[in-house]
Amino acid sequence: MKLFGGVISVSGMAFLVFSVFAIVAVGYLLGRVTIKGINLGTAGVFIVALLYGAFLGNFLNETVNKEGVDIVKEAFKSLDTLGLILFVAAVGFIAGPNFFKNLKKNFKSYILLGVVIIASSAAVAIACFFIGRGSEANTEEFMAELTGLLSGALTSTPAFSASREAVAKAYQDAVTAGYSISYIFGVIGVVLFVQLIPKIMKADMDKERALITANNTAKNNGTNEKLITIDSVGLWVFAIAAVVGVLVGAIKIPLTSNGLSGTTFSLTTTGGVLLTTLVCGHFGHIGRISLTVKTSVLETFREFGLMLFLIGAGVPGGMKFVQYFKPVYFVYGVAMTIVPMIIGFIFAKYVLKLPLLNNLGSITGGMTSTPALGTLISVSGTSDVASAYASTYPIALIAVVLASQLLIMFFK
């Protein structure tokens, strides 16, 4: 049966919905498998999505034309965007009341840590270039692959997009391939890291929660009894904030003299929605109109959004993974993920003197890792870690986009 034609059909949409629920059903079971206290959690959905994508890609390549395959990819990628908006918006509202106080207190630390993490990963990419260029027939293509590996290792879609724009058109597929190969461990590696470190450090989680809660205690932003609520749970506020955030993220700032026709920077959907919801969460109201969302709604959207994001990223990635995979590139990607996390953790602990949960929350932001934040919230038992993530994330976002541009210039 032809599932997708020139447009998404009713049968195609039914297949998409079926796929999502099938992946969720198996993925959460996989995520619950625990070995010595370590599990994948929601990232289990990502593993299943990758495997599903690999089988689906093989099936579609044999049964439909390239246009049909591309339509399927785009359908799943739309889940990626929707999930990211839901997750990031929920995080912004949760972190908002504590964000600006936390940022003011640790502003320099967050900037330094974000830069150290991205610089460390870029340094690994440069080292990989010198190690591997002798065995590569096409140095320019290898360079493009490495910039893709860097953006995937840091799970940074903005860096991936900027890298594709910066390289010659003939090498854009190489950027995509690198991104797909390293993205897998980029997700799983950080998820495992934030679970392993507390165990390695033999951390007293009750004490660590008390530390981050004390640092993030926010003042009351007003009495909600006096405010006007559009709906009882805050869905209207959530929707308005998401719309405004998407528009803010679409604003492009020129980075070259060519203006909008050259290289530009934007907060992207993620950054725009995060910034908008942080502001809404901080102020809590505009005039007499409440900007609060019920906690249960935020927690549901956070988990549901993360799940959709992992499916939307995993299935298309799995469809391309087998085609482009090379073991040595996977190793390069692993190094670009692990090295900056270790350096960042040591720097934050011994130089910046950040408490453990502030440290790990900042690392998830510095690695621009949405799934790892979800895991850290679960591991720590507090949403206060979202403030550290939200504080470091914008710095890392800007740094990784600039680093990708500089690496392309360096490799040339």
* Stretch among 37-46, 134-143, 212-221, 346-355 having the lowest mean pLDDT: 212-221
Q: What angle do CA 141, 143, 147 make, to 5 degrees?
A: 115
**pLDDT recorded at residue 411:** 67
The type of residue at 272 is: G
> What crossing angle do the helices spanning 172-200 and 370-380 adopt, rounded to 10°?
10
What is the pLDDT at residue 5? Answer: 46
pLDDT at 260 over 70: no
Residue found under tokens 């724009």: 165
Q: Domain count of the chain?
A: 1
Condensed to tens digits (0 to 9), the pLDDT of residues 351-396 reads: 999 999 999 999 998 998 878 888 888 888 888 888 888 888 878 8
Residue 344 has pLDDT above 60, yes or no: yes
The whole-number pLDDT of residue 323 equals 66
The first and second tokens of residue 138, run together, are 């096409």
The CA distances from residue 405 to 107, 122, 132, 206, 360, in Å, are 26, 11, 20, 43, 27
| pLDDT at 218 > cutoff 60 | no
- Which residues span the domain enclosing 354? 95-297+326-411
Question: What pLDDT, on the 0 to 100 scale, is given for residue 350?
Answer: 94
Per-residue model confidence (pLDDT) at position 245: 92
Neighbours of 287 (CB within 10 A): 7
Can you list the alpha helix ranges (DSSP code H) found in 293-384? 295-324, 327-346, 356-366, 370-380
**Number of DSSP helices (H) and strands (E) in the chain, helices first:** 14, 4
Q: Is position 247 within any domain? A: yes
Neighbours of 283 (CB within 10 A): 15
Q: Is 18 contained in some domain?
A: no
Q: What is the pLDDT of residues 105-142, one digit of tens each?
A: 778 888 899 899 999 999 999 999 888 877 776 777 78
Within 10 A of 59 (CB to CB), how many other CB atoms are there?
13
DSSP string, 74-98: HHHHHHHHHHHHHHHHHHHHHHHHH
- With 0-12 / 13-18 / 19 or more C-beta atoms within 10 angstroms meaning exposed / middle / buried, residue 21 is exposed
Residue 373: Cβ-neighbour burial (10 angstroms; 0-12, 13-18, 19+): buried
More confident call, 397 vs 369: 369
Q: Across 195-204, 325-334, 342-351, 403-412, which has the greatest mean pLDDT?
A: 342-351
Q: d(Cα 165, Cα 257) in Å, to the nearest integer?
A: 16
Q: Pick the most confident of 123-137, 218-232, 395-409.
A: 123-137
Does a structural domain hold residue 26?
no
Q: Specify the pLDDT at position 108.
A: 84
Which has more confidence, 339 or 278?
A: 339
- Report DSSP letters for 96-110, one per residue: HHHHHHHHHHHHHHH
pLDDT at 224 over 60: no
With respect to residue 353, please indicate whether it lies within any of the assigned structural domains. yes
Task: Examine residue 34 and state whether it is found in any structural domain, yes or no.
Answer: no
Given a cut of 60, whether residue 259 has pLDDT beyond it is no
- Tokens representing 390 are 């939200």
| Backbone angles phi and psi of 265, in degrees to 5 | -125, 140
Distances (CA, A) of 409 to 126, 335, 372, 402, 405: 12, 22, 31, 11, 6
Q: Token pair for residue 387?
A: 């403030």
What are the pLDDT digits (tens) for 59-91? 777 777 677 677 777 888 888 888 888 988 988
The percent of residues above 90 in pLDDT, for the chain, comes to 22
Alpha carbon 389 to its chain's center: 11
Flag whether 243 is in a domain. yes
Give 7's pLDDT tier (boundaries 50, 70, 90).
Answer: very low
4, pLDDT greater than 70: no
- Given the structure tokens 């559009």, which residue do they identify? 230
Q: Which residues, including other chains, have CB under 8 Å from residue 216's CB and lie 6 or more apart?
A: 98, 101, 102, 384, 387
Q: Does residue 380 lie in a domain region? A: yes
pLDDT at site 229:
86
Domain membership of residue 195 (yes or no) is: yes
- Nearest alpha carbon to residue 17 among 38, 31, 3, 5: 3
62-65-70-76 Cα dihedral, nearest 10 degrees: -50
Separation of CA 245 from chain center: 16
Alpha-carbon distance of 261 to 263, in angstroms, equals 7
Q: What is the pLDDT of residues 284-338, one digit of tens each?
A: 888 888 889 998 999 899 889 888 988 887 888 777 766 667 788 899 999 999 9
Q: Tokens for 104?
A: 């003011």
pLDDT band at 348; cut points 50, 70, 90: very high
The pLDDT score that the predictor gives to residue 215 is: 62
With a cut of 70, say whether residue 171 has pLDDT above it: yes
How far from chain centre, in Å, is Cα 278?
17
pLDDT attached to residue 256: 63
Are the C-beta atoms of 181 and 149 separated by less than 8 Å?
Answer: yes
Quickly list H helices, 33-65: 43-63
Among candidate residues 86, 16, 70, 63, the one with its CA nearest the CA of residue 273: 86
**222 falls in which pLDDT band (50, 70, 90)?**
very low
In the predicted structure, residue 237 carries a pLDDT above the cut 90: yes
Radius of gyration (C-alpha) of the chain in whole angstroms: 21
What pLDDT, on the 0 to 100 scale, is given for residue 2? 47
* 31 in Cβ contact with 307 (< 8 Å): no
Q: Decide: 371 and 43 in contact? Cβ < 8 Å.
A: yes
